A and B are shown apart, each in its own frame.
Chain A
């Protein structure tokens, strides 16, 4: 029983520390952190691990509230190099089924939407896992339309780092040649925030598919203070950027989505985290993020040995960094602004998109795929969208849209 008590104590202490930090009670928060440091452990069970990273995040939050230089330097130290980023993204792909399922469903939906087309344009807004997704798409296309001569595929990928795009182009080119496709690769070196969809090298009139996996929420990052001031004038809502009725929930996002809509995509598939950590209240964010990342850590605990060094590395470099971003960063720096699908839907509809059903073939394939993983994962279709669950906790959502 001891570990259970300890675990509950740990959770309460974390939430209490968040409350203290939010209210500015730094001494008490410091004491709580001191106590947390003995209860949490990066090598322990999943709760201890997730608590370690949350404690670190709360500590960073506390520092960030009072000092300027220290948090910047700390973040500098923790910045991942490009190969490291690629590594952890690869680990994310390996450890969890989420990306696999997302890609499968996206690809299937695209394939079905592109039935009968001879030219296919793909816009990839989140090419972090390398070329895997599009290789599979090409293979799927070949399988599905074996008789279509000279299928032309153009892939436009947006990423901040040139070398990532180069590698991707390389792999895709090789595969396309193997499958005898006409292939063109358009790398665009840019961040999503500074991207203007109109400037993309996409030919109007040709069928376009857009895919964005776990990346769209970064556009919600705004200077919160200004947004709050604007919102107070109209509607004092407790949660920022959530009510679609407020006049400027996220200008950046709306402009971007509208820009995408103007490209007239035949299909757009969005995969996002199903959790709402975009609030302004720290305690709320910690609370919800705890549930979300607790589940993610549980998945790891259930499937991967505790001693595997990649697991700890992954927890530290990806999950820990996301947690830190959610908890300790504010304003434009806070990129991990996950929101639930129920708030994405009005946003996308506002931009003009209409929902289309997910490929049932894709769902079936994904369900089969899950058998290769530790039991506990579920897929459910609700409201024409797909949700990926871990033990009754919805973690990711996949939705398909069209122009």
Chain B
């Protein structure tokens, strides 16, 4: 890029010929210094904000027309048909110029951290210290530099990641994090399961009266009739699976009625059981019946995902809740007999909660293997070290705030040695300062990006801490974990763009 001679602190309109428009690229490619680490021989230019932001810095001396670019000015000057003598610009050797940010608090205000490109420093100044005047109309994202805004609006809405659950993401990392925990995965497999189960459920009639057309009332009435706790002595009741199911419903009222009738429990009358029964009868949804029965007679295979999930909701459960006898509230528990036990006998929750047993078995069927990777996938955690390398590289961009850019390449390598070589001060603080290793709140929070002060080093420090204490901790695992931690921190909040604009 040709050097702009004009941009010395006094904006002079010196029209020096730099033959920029006609200049061909030099044979050797221009050497580029690392950003933020300028050539020590370069000339440092400090511009005032006004000068920096001024447009039309190049002014034609003939007609005083202002141009934003020197090239444009030269092109314009050609049109003036200048005599040959004045056409050429003085071609003195120019030194490389670097620019400092006029903002005092900025790190690039220091000449040793100056930026080498004028356009770059202008953009930096606007981005960091300027107000965001440009807004994307699609997604309401704001930008201070017009070119940024233009670039974004080209991309906005074009590249989208869509999760199975319907949520749309523009960023890959937030998409991946979401997908790891998205319930859609489980639902899909659950759906495929229920397709199978629905067939088997129809076949194996676990309950008497399982089929939907059975009116609720008839089951209830038969249930109430069969509930007869005073069983004849010579007929020891065998535990019957089917009867159990019927008593599942009536048993609850049965036990209720027995408890309320037989225990002298301050006023809870036998009427309550009939009210309860009538509630059951009146509850319209046969789905309620069905939803309850799976919870009860839910045997290992017949995984009753209720056919009418919509029916299992507020109305019936709230009725049951209101009916819930207050006997359980403050009942004394110390008793040698079995009486108080009955006070605990509760009408079962009418919420559609599946039993823990059923969920455990279902989860075992679904197999952990498929979901193991996805459980923590969003954090870039894969147990093999080769994946570490790839994820480390890939996450390198997201890892760094801008000040960590230079270290992003070195941190994984540093961790590979067991201790991060860079950022040593942060590490030492962690080693000495933190009393307990697990869950020092600030570092844990840092993992999650709540205080992104030293996200990278915090992770590195903690892993080194654990390495020193835990002994046999695999270093690659620690590195993977630290990478994961930082990526996790970024991934979790990437939507809010903490990583980008600090």
Contacts and interface: CB of A to CB of B under 8 A. Distances in A.
B183 A6 contact: yes
Contacts of B480: 27
Contacts of B344: 94-95, 303-305, 308
A24 B467 CA distance: 11
Contact of A8 (B239, B296, B359): B359
A301 B355 contact: yes
A90 B368 CA distance: 38
Interface in B271-306: 296, 298-300, 305
A63 B305 CA distance: 39
B342 A368 contact: no
A372 B357 contact: no
Given A27-B482, A27-B485, A295 B470 contact: no
Contacts of B236: 364, 367-368
Contacts of A393: 357
Interface string B453-495: 0000000000100100110111001101110110010000000
Given A27-B485, A47-B359, A1 B376 contact: no
Interface string B321-339: 0001000100001111010
A303 B263 CA distance: 17
Contacts of A369: 338
Contacts of B341: 94-95, 372-373
B359 A7 contact: yes
A176 to B, nearest CB: 15
Contacts of B364: 11
Contact of B375 (A5, A13, A378): A13
Given A5-B186, A16-B368, A26-B473, A392 B333 contact: no
B253 to A, nearest CB: 12
A375 interface: yes
Given A25-B477, A90-B334, A367 B237 contact: yes
Contacts, number: 208
Interface in B332-388: 333-336, 338, 340-342, 344-346, 348-349, 351-357, 359-360, 362-364, 366, 368, 371-372, 375-376, 379, 381, 383
B190 A392 contact: no
A298 interface: yes
Given A24-B470, A66-B466, A391-B299, A45 B338 contact: no
A391 B251 CA distance: 15
B90 to A, nearest CB: 62
A306 B349 contact: yes
Contacts of B324: 305
Interface in A1-59: 1-13, 15-16, 19, 24-28, 30-32, 34-35, 45-47, 50
Contact of A291 (B251, B309, B357): B357
A25 B478 CA distance: 8
Contacts of B84: none
B190 A8 contact: yes
B237 A368 contact: yes
Contacts of A290: 360
B457 to A, nearest CB: 15
B360 A5 contact: no
Interface size class of A (residues with CB under 8 A): 35 or more
B7 to A, nearest CB: 50
B502 interface: no
Q: Tell which of A45, A295, A306, A368 has the most Cβ of chain B within 10 Å.
A: A45
A94 B333 contact: yes
Nearest to B295: A302
A4 B239 CA distance: 30
Interface in B421-463: 436-438, 448, 463
A66 B328 CA distance: 43
A295 B357 contact: yes
A154 interface: no
Nearest to A135: B336
A375 B335 contact: no
A132 interface: yes
Contact of B357 (A8, A16, A298): A298
Contact of B371 (A12, A32, A94, A392): A12
A63 B438 contact: yes
B473 A24 contact: yes
B366 A392 contact: no
A301 B372 contact: no
Interface string B231-259: 10000111100001001100110010000
5 contacts: A19-B372, A32-B375, A32-B376, A47-B354, A372-B255
Interface of A: 1-13, 15-16, 19, 24-28, 30-32, 34-35, 45-47, 50, 62-63, 65-67, 70, 90-91, 94-95, 100, 132, 135, 290-291, 294-295, 297-298, 301-308, 310, 364, 367-376, 378-379, 390-393
Given A294-B357, A379-B239, 19 more contacts: A5-B186, A5-B187, A7-B354, A10-B359, A11-B360, A12-B371, A16-B372, A27-B481, A31-B379, A32-B375, A66-B438, A67-B469, A291-B360, A308-B344, A372-B255, A374-B251, A374-B255, A376-B244, A391-B355
Task: Give 7 closest A-B pairs by Cβ, nearest first.
Answer: A27-B481, A11-B363, A294-B356, A5-B186, A45-B353, A47-B356, A7-B359
Interface of B: 181, 183, 186-187, 190, 229, 231, 236-239, 244, 247-248, 251-252, 255, 296, 298-300, 305, 309, 324, 328, 333-336, 338, 340-342, 344-346, 348-349, 351-357, 359-360, 362-364, 366, 368, 371-372, 375-376, 379, 381, 383, 436-438, 448, 463, 466, 469-470, 472-474, 477-478, 480-482, 484-485, 488
